[in-house]
Amino acid sequence: MATKIMKAVQYEGYGGGAAGLKYTEIPIPSPKKDEVLLKLEATSVNPIDWKVQKGMLRPFLPPRFPFVPGVDVTGEVSEAGPEVADFKRGDKVIAMLSLPNSGGLAEFAVAPTNMTVSRPAELSPAEGAGLPTAALIALQALRAAGTTKFDCTGKSSNILITAASGGVGHYAVQLAKLAGLHVTATCGDRNVEFVKQLGADEVLDYKTPQGASLTSPSGKKYDAVIHCASGIPWSTFEPNLSAYGTVIDISPSFKSMVAALYKKVTLSKKKLVTLVLAPKVEDMRFVVELAKEGRLRTCVDSIHGLSTAEAAWAKSISGHATGKIIVEM
Ligand SMILES: NC(=O)c1ccc[n+]([C@@H]2O[C@H](COP(=O)([O-])OP(=O)(O)OC[C@H]3O[C@@H](n4cnc5c(N)ncnc54)[C@H](OP(=O)(O)O)[C@@H]3O)[C@@H](O)[C@H]2O)c1
């Protein structure tokens, strides 16, 4: 039988940024026994996608070239592997593809069923594709900061969320407000109103002296920081933390990893914790349910076509997205 082909966007080596992406034709992948083949509707671009292209995870990722990036997708099940019981042809789903396999910038992709959930009709393909990586790390970061209940019945505390206008930050603000926390957020001047609308109680423009020092306008000390920006040293966080304050760093550098270890071995009351996303389907179900109920909103920064995915890539590399950058097929 002749191989079926599809349009896809791939890169052939490390580096090159948006110019390194090639819109091309490749064979449609086949699902393994516990995978589904999806006819993709939308894919969101995350910083991890271009960080892998940049070689930041070399020699482990990507495992081969050429490589089709993109992990967060929505699509329609086109074929189910022989051991798949939960999904059938025609189902609309949200999935997180495996990072080493990726494949999201294409017309079709295979998704592991253990990270696939139904897409409720209330969510558009773009809104659904925004959720997996960004909403899950926001949720897991809040949990790492001690927040376990997202219905205002838990302990209230003061939290700082840096880069609150970005993909992760805009979900983190909403989740923190669902938990009943007092949220101070940082973002650029152009997004102050946006971040307030997400629910932040206080907003700091990170380009002002007060924003750069992270000082709460009302003088609050932070019990936790969900640190979604990068390049802020411990010496800036330290004076703003409460006695047992914890910084959850989701973009750790070598320096912050050493600092985190140092805090741990010296039994410091104020802590720095580095965090990497753990893909968990129950967390996917949780955020998708909140989104279905209209309690967790995806702000779409921009929508691009597959043949012009390099514009989405360049926007993500620029570091100036407001919410999620989407490619629609
Ligand atoms: N640990 C993990 O498993 C994991 C998972 C997901 C993401 N991450 C990491 O988390 C980070 C955030 O991801 P993302 O998807 O949210 O990124 P993003 O969407 O690209 O973030 C862009 C936003 O950040 C704002 N920003 C940039 N620097 C800032 C600063 N110093 N202070 C305040 N706001 C700032 C920008 O505002 P302006 O445009 O106004 O500058 C923009 O709105 C990335 O480094 C990503 O790799 C880690």
Domains of the chain in start order, with CATH, are 5-131+298-328 (3.90.180.10), 134-274 (3.40.50.720)
**Is the confidence at residue 106, as pLDDT, over 80?**
yes
Q: Taking a C-beta distance cutoff of 8 angstroms, is the pair 7, 23 a contact?
A: yes
Ligand 1 pocket, residue 207 CB under 6 Å = no
CA of 32 to the centre of ligand 1 (A): 34
**Is the confidence at residue 90, as pLDDT, over 70?**
yes
Q: Whose CA is nearest to atom 46 of ligand 1?
A: 47
Q: What is the pLDDT of residue 1?
A: 59
The best mutation among 250, 256, 275, 325 to test binding of ligand 1, ranked by most ligand atoms within 8 Å of the C-beta, falls on: 250
**Is the confidence at residue 171, as pLDDT, over 90?**
yes
Instruction: Compute φ and ψ for 153, nearest 5 degrees.
Output: -100, 0
Q: What is the pLDDT of residue 265?
A: 86
What helix, strand, coil percent values describe the chain, rounded to 5? Answer: 30, 30, 40
Instruction: Compute φ and ψ for 222, nearest 5 degrees.
Output: -90, 130
Give mean pLDDT, residues 166-188: 98
- What CA–CA distance (Å, rounded) separates 131 from 42? 12
Q: What is the pLDDT of residue 264?
A: 87
CA of 29 to the centre of ligand 1 (A): 32
Query: What confidence tens digit (pLDDT) does each residue in 191-240 have?
Result: 999 999 999 999 999 999 999 999 999 999 999 999 999 999 999 999 99
Ligand 1 pocket, residue 169 CB under 6 Å = yes
Ligand 1 pocket, residue 168 CB under 6 Å = yes
- What CA–CA distance (Å, rounded) separates 42 from 73? 6
**Is the confidence at residue 254, as pLDDT, over 90?**
no
Give mean pLDDT, residues 1-16: 93
Average pLDDT, the chain: 96
Q: What is the pLDDT of residue 226?
A: 98
Of the candidate ranges 32-41, 100-109, 261-270, 304-313, the one whose mean pLDDT is the lowest: 261-270
Q: What is the C-alpha R_g of the chain?
A: 20
For residue 289, the SS3 value is helix
Q: What is the pLDDT of residue 214?
A: 98
Q: What is the pLDDT of residue 156?
A: 84
Q: Helix crossing, 309-318 with 47-54: angle to 10°? A: 90
Q: What is the pLDDT of residue 91?
A: 98
Give mean pLDDT, residues 1-12: 91
Residues whose CB is less than 8 angstroms from the CB of residue 258 and which lie 6 or more positions away in sequence, other chains included: none
> How does DSSP classify residue 191?
G
- What CA–CA distance (Å, rounded) separates 204 from 225? 14
The best mutation among 168, 208, 322 to test binding of ligand 1, ranked by most ligand atoms within 8 Å of the C-beta, falls on: 168
Q: What percent of the chain has pLDDT over 70?
A: 100
* Burial of residue 68 (number of CB atoms within 10 Å: 0-12, 13-18, 19+): buried
Query: What confidence tens digit (pLDDT) does each residue in 24-81 have?
Result: 999 999 999 999 999 999 999 999 999 999 999 999 999 999 999 999 999 999 999 9
Q: Whose CA is nearest to atom 36 of ligand 1?
A: 320
